[in-house]
Amino acid sequence: MRLRYVLGAGLIIGAVAVISIVTFSRQAEAYYTVAELWDAVAPGSPAEAQPSALAASAGQRMRVRGYVDAASVRRADNGLQLAFVLTDEDRNLGVTYRGLVPDTFDRAESVTVGGTLGADGAFVADELFVQCPSKYEAVPPGATAPAGDADGRSDG
């Protein structure tokens, strides 16, 4: 009788473990900086990327982080489509994003996009996360707080 309970509990724990592992592996996404992505997909410069290397990564879900080249930002008239270039060190990645653009996008320090890399080397994003500059930065010792803010915080 006791053996049945032990076997039943073991079976339930095993089933939960298998379901957890399968679910986690399907939801896992690779996370790269722009330079890491190009090094992983096509060592060297993106201009030298081989079509076969890009095709191998095409359609694979990933997230990429970099800095927005402000001169490259192009918005569609409807405001729901955005094209820009992510940079990191000396590497660039063209990104197209369709969806709501966060209000803080123009002031972002860095951007993380989630989506897929196309066979042509362009990134099609369906997620856009921005990291804004810190609103509250410490005032160095001996310095005065910004005008209009007595406690050393700025509204930036």
What is the C-alpha separation between 41 and 53, in angstroms, rounded?
6
Contact residues for 89 (Cβ-Cβ < 8 A; gap 6+): 34, 35
Measuring CA to CA, which residue among 75, 58, 43, 63 is closest to residue 119?
A: 58
For residue 150, the tally of other CB atoms under 10 A from its CB is 7
Is this structure's pTM higher than 0.75?
A: no
What is the C-alpha separation between 78 and 100, in angstroms, rounded?
10
Q: Would you give per-residue pLDDT tens digits along the chain (156 residues)? A: 688 899 999 999 999 999 888 877 666 678 888 888 888 776 655 555 554 455 556 678 889 999 998 889 998 887 788 999 999 878 889 999 998 888 888 888 789 999 988 878 789 999 999 887 666 566 667 666 555 555 544 444
Q: What is the pLDDT of residue 156?
A: 47
Q: What is the pLDDT of residue 154?
A: 47
